Amino acid sequence: MLPTIEWQGDAVVMIDQRKLPATEVYVSCKTAAEVAKAIKTMVIRGAPAIGVAAAMGIAMGMRRSTATGTKQFTTEFQKTCDMMAATRPTAVNLFWAIEKMKHVFAEAAQGGCSVDEIKQRLEAEARRIHDEDVESCRTMGAHGATLVPQDARILTHCNAGALATAGYGTALGVIRAAAEQGKKVAVLADETRPFLQGARLTAWELVKDGIDTTVITDNMAGSMMRLGNVDLVVVGADRIAANGDVANKIGTYGVAVLAKEHNIPFYVAAPISTVDLHTPDGSSIPIEERNDKEVTHVGSSRLTPEGAHIRNPAFDVTPHKYVTAIITERGIARAPYDESLAALVNDAAVKA
């Protein structure tokens, strides 16, 4: 399986997702600021992977601190957390991971740990967040595979795969688990304008795994559904509000509306760390607006005339009424989501 991100000696190393599939190159980050930049510039992307990268970046940044007393060390820690939090606003996993690191820091500091001991605990927590992410994806995949028919044509949007997590993937984890169980799966991967995560990353991962993959441009999804070529949709999420509204890559909303029109199940696969019970509904989810250049250019070629206004919201919100079920590592939530999600977050055993 692909190593999306890993420690290598004193560096955090990640595959450069901006360059895939043309070249497989790795970016080695030696400071927390380099990790923050890698998140912001999409060297690493995908909600769970962003959270993992932030935790590893914080641990690495603090490992390098030369502070001798806890006072200075605490100030540096706070600054490092603030820098990570300012990278990307929509994926709640980022803030979830930062909170986890803050909790470990506070517990260690209050328990009278030395600076060196706090450094070790932060690193252990970052490693745990990494390893638990892969484990969650596998469990989520097993739950999700129960929803996949023996012979299934599955449409997905963006990349919610191994590259978007510490490994295995959420939506692609469901697809992988179904394939591992011997189900016959064929995937339609939406291209996903403007950053092309579907065409570049989802297709790359699935082809490497030997899974039947067809790339379509985003505007083909409706027609594919109408022609009867899609049995189910599964996508990831950047943040799921308490009422089940889902923020995910721009274009997901359109796919969900089309799926409902054609009576096709629309599933969302995401770890519990993506569920944000503090956000009551989709209207309070912050949506990142990215650089115009992602829309105006493909590589170095300009597509649009100078003078045209450009919009580039990176995510949209799919109201919960379009969501057939939400697949997590703790089980499958169905409507009413305010009840089922709260039960899962509070670790009650809710099953499909």
Which residue in 43, 46, 125, 203 binds ligand MRU (CB under 6 A)?
A: 46
Q: Can 276 be counted among the known catalytic residues?
A: no
Q: Does 58 contact ligand MRU by CB under 6 A?
A: no
Angle, vertex CA 276, rays to CA 271 and CA 281, nearest 5: 125
- Reported as type and span, the H/E element at residue 189 is strand 184-190
In one letter, which amino acid is 242? A
Q: Does 246 contact ligand MRU by CB under 6 A?
A: no
Q: Does 130 contact ligand MRU by CB under 6 A?
A: no
We find the least distance from the C-beta atom of residue 91 to ligand MRU, in angstroms, to be 6
- Reported as type and span, the H/E element at residue 156 is strand 151-156
Alpha helices in 112-266 (DSSP H): 115-145, 171-180, 203-208, 221-226, 252-261
Q: Does 47 contact ligand MRU by CB under 6 A?
A: yes
Q: Does 279 contact ligand MRU by CB under 6 A?
A: no
Instruction: Tell me, by CB under 6 A, how many residues bind ligand MRU.
Output: 17
We find the least distance from the C-beta atom of residue 243 to ligand MRU, in angstroms, to be 19
We find the least distance from the C-beta atom of residue 297 to ligand MRU, in angstroms, to be 17
Taking each continuous run of H as one helix and of E as one strand, the counts in the chain are: 11, 16
Radius of gyration of the chain (CA): 20
Distance CA 99, CA 93 (A): 10
Query: Which of 214/312 has CB closer to ligand MRU?
Result: 312
> Of 131, 212, 231, 238, which residue is the catalytic one?
238
Q: Does 249 contact ligand MRU by CB under 6 A?
A: yes
We find the least distance from the C-beta atom of residue 352 to ligand MRU, in angstroms, to be 20
Q: Does 237 contact ligand MRU by CB under 6 A?
A: yes
Instruction: Give the footprint of ligand MRU on residues 306-325 (CB under 6 A).
Output: 314
Q: Does 54 contact ligand MRU by CB under 6 A?
A: no
Do residues 266 and 322 make contact, with C-beta atoms less than 8 angstroms apart?
yes
Query: Which of 104/187 has CB closer to ligand MRU?
Result: 187
- Give whole-number Cα distances, 167 to 123, 130, 266, 273, 322, in Å: 19, 9, 23, 15, 28
Instruction: Give the footprint of ligand MRU on residues 9-28 (CB under 6 A).
Output: none
Report residue 51: phi and psi, to 5°.
-60, -45
Which residue in 164, 215, 333, 344 binds ligand MRU (CB under 6 A)?
A: 164
Alpha helices in 146-214 (DSSP H): 171-180, 203-208
Active-site amino acid positions? 238
Which residues make up the interface to ligand MRU (CB under 6 A)? 45-48, 91, 158, 160, 164-165, 170, 197, 236-238, 248-249, 314
